[in-house]
């Protein structure tokens, strides 16, 4: 496409089905040609111009070696965190990794202790289970409560797990798949428990740049003294700026000075993807207007989805997210007696993520990706509506 100086959401998401099917990335290439994909968390969007320029300039230079420095990424993220979240970060608080998954696995492996367990709160990002496997630790599940209304911490269950010896909590905030942004008070209560039981909180905050207007987002390390004492935050630009195939993750702690040997930033940087580092720096430093346009589009998509569901799938419950582009659809009170994603793939030719991929607590749910055009979202929900209700 030819960009305007400040492209609109309609321009950014104006990509035909045929053009999207020509992509080799996962979302459109892994479904049949008659299926509308609304599953994996990729957006149907044009990349930010500054990211394109950074990558094209590297190609023009024939520049595809090992990363030379992470200083540009560290500075770009620090500036972004200061400007958006009033979070001040020093350079030696930051460690650059291959991606968020690698950072989390290394951190879990380091901090899990003799118990070798990590607490998670399902339904939660399905890759957490993979991260635990790579980190060589076992899950301790403490499901969120009141999921139909957004999801809340089970503090009694969390305390019981910590008493039993778990030393790491893997938090997802903003939450995937629920879209919940936990309040400062909720996070403070969790931090107090972590400090009381000498546990570490690894806070996956990769959806944070897409928190909606009017929603207060508190980075874990800014919540309280207890949170700063117990936590390490994990960030990346790859989700919010839609370049998941270019790898770069960022871990941030509250303390300064040398990192533990097995978390050495120099080794982690060398293992990182050079083009991912270039794209990440361009995202945080030069692509804020693009981000704001996309975020506003997702806020509008949430309203559209609410209306479309009311019209075409009124039995399906949906608690609007507070961040990002993922919708958690609740089929628990319907007559559907099979996995919702399987039903809609067969009957509507729409691909959703099965709720059970996010833990047993996801039974009766499906995750829908709103990261597409308004027109395509309407087609998706209308196709699902035509296949409803299920046959008795």
* CA dist list (Å): 51 to 246, 276, 281, 291, 375: 11, 10, 9, 12, 26
Whether residue 147 contacts residue 121, with contact meaning beta carbons closer than 8 Å, is answered with no
Based on the fold, state whether residues 267 and 165 are members of the same structural domain.
Answer: yes
Instruction: Provide the domain limits for residue 360.
Output: 9-47+288-386
Output the domain CATH number for residue 159: 3.40.640.10
Helices (H), 115-183: 127-135, 155-163
Whether residue 233 contacts residue 221, with contact meaning beta carbons closer than 8 Å, is answered with yes
Which residue's entry shows tokens 């608690």?
A: 319
pLDDT digits (tens, 9 = 90+) for 152-171: 999 999 999 999 999 999 99
Task: Report the predicted TM-score, pTM, of the whole model to 2 decimal places.
Answer: 0.95
Cross-strand partners of 119: 140, 169
Based on the fold, state whether residues 14 and 124 are members of the same structural domain.
Answer: no
Based on the fold, state whether residues 269 and 339 are members of the same structural domain.
Answer: no
Based on the fold, state whether residues 215 and 327 are members of the same structural domain.
Answer: no
Average pLDDT of span 276-282: 97
Is residue 297 included in any domain, yes or no? yes
* CA–CA separation, 358 and 361 (whole Å): 7
Which residue's entry shows tokens 């080799």?
A: 24
Tokens in use for 378?
């309407």
Order of all β-strands in the sheet with 94-97: 94-97, 249-253, 231-235, 200-204, 168-172, 117-120, 138-141
Which residue's entry shows tokens 């993979």?
A: 130
pLDDT digits (tens, 9 = 90+) for 289-332: 999 999 999 999 999 999 999 999 999 999 999 999 999 999 99
Based on the fold, state whether residues 208 and 350 are members of the same structural domain.
Answer: no
Based on the fold, state whether residues 260 and 144 are members of the same structural domain.
Answer: yes
pLDDT surpasses 60 at 2:
no
Q: Out of 286, 307, 325, pick the residue that ends a domain.
A: 286
pLDDT digits (tens, 9 = 90+) for 170-200: 999 999 999 999 999 999 999 999 999 999 9
Is residue 1 included in any domain, yes or no? no
CA dihedral 305, 307, 311, 314 (to 10 degrees): 70
Q: Looking at residue 227, what is its pLDDT? A: 97
Q: Looking at residue 269, what is its pLDDT? A: 77
Based on the fold, state whether residues 207 and 313 are members of the same structural domain.
Answer: no
Based on the fold, state whether residues 16 and 133 are members of the same structural domain.
Answer: no
Tokens in use for 366?
């499906």
The structural domain count of the chain equals 2
Whether residue 366 contacts residue 340, with contact meaning beta carbons closer than 8 Å, is answered with yes
Whether residue 260 contacts residue 240, with contact meaning beta carbons closer than 8 Å, is answered with no
Q: Band of the pLDDT at 263, cuts 50, 70, 90?
A: confident
Is residue 312 included in any domain, yes or no? yes
Helix (H, G, I), strand (E, B) or coil at 158: helix
Is residue 2 included in any domain, yes or no? no
Is residue 52 included in any domain, yes or no? no
Based on the fold, state whether residues 360 and 303 are members of the same structural domain.
Answer: yes
Average pLDDT of span 48-61: 98
pLDDT surpasses 90 at 118:
yes
Output the domain CATH number for residue 352: 3.90.1150.10
Q: Out of 254, 286, 318, pick the residue that ends a domain.
A: 286
Based on the fold, state whether residues 123 and 194 are members of the same structural domain.
Answer: yes
Beta strand segments in 222-337, E: 231-235, 249-253, 317-318, 326-330
Based on the fold, state whether residues 296 and 222 are members of the same structural domain.
Answer: no
Whether residue 128 contacts residue 101, with contact meaning beta carbons closer than 8 Å, is answered with no
């Amino acid at each position: 496409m030819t960009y305007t100086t400040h492209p609109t959401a309609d321009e950014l998401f104006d990509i035909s089905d045929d053009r999207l099917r020509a992509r080799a990335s996962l979302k459109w290439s892994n479904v049949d040609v008659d299926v509308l994909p609304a599953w994996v968390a990729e957006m149907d969007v044009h990349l930010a111009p500054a990211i394109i320029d950074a990558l094209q300039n590297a190609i023009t230079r024939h520049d595809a070696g090992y990363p030379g420095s992470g200083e540009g990424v560290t500075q770009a993220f620090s500036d972004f965190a200061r400007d958006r979240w009033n979070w001040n970060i020093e350079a030696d608080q930051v460690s650059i990794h291959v991606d968020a998954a690698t950072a989390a696995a290394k951190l879990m492996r380091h901090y899990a202790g003799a118990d070798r367990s990590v607490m998670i709160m399902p339904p939660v990002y399905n890759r957490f289970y993979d991260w635990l496997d790579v980190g060589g630790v076992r899950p301790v599940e403490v499901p969120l409560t009141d999921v139909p209304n957004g999801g809340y911490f089970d503090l009694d269950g969390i305390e019981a797990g910590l008493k039993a010896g778990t030393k790491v909590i893997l938090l997802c905030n903003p939450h995937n798949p629920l879209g919940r942004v936990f309040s400062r008070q909720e996070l403070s209560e969790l931090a107090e428990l972590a400090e009381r039981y000498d546990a570490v909180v690894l806070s996956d905050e990769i959806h944070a740049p897409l928190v909606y207007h009017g929603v207060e987002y508190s980075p874990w390390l800014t919540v309280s003294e207890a949170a700063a004492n117990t936590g390490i935050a994990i960030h990346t630009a790859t989700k919010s700026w839609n370049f998941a195939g270019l790898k770069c993750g960022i871990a941030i702690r509250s303390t300064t000075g040398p990192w533990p040997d097995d978390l050495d930033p120099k080794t982690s940087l060398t293992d990182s993807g050079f083009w991912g580092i270039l794209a990440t720096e361009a995202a945080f430093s030069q692509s804020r207007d693009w981000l704001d346009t996309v975020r506003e589009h997702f806020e509008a998509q949430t309203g559209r989805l609410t209306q479309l569901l009311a019209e075409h799938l009124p039995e399906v419950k949906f608690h609007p997210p507070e961040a990002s582009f993922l919708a958690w659809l609740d089929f628990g009170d319907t007559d559907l007696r099979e996995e919702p994603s399987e039903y809609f793939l067969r009957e509507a030719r729409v691909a959703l993520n099965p709720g059970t991929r996010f833990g047993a607590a996801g039974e009766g749910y499906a995750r829908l990706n709103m990261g597409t055009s308004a027109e395509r979202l309407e087609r998706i929900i209308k196709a699902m509506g035509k296949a409803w209700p299920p046959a008795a």
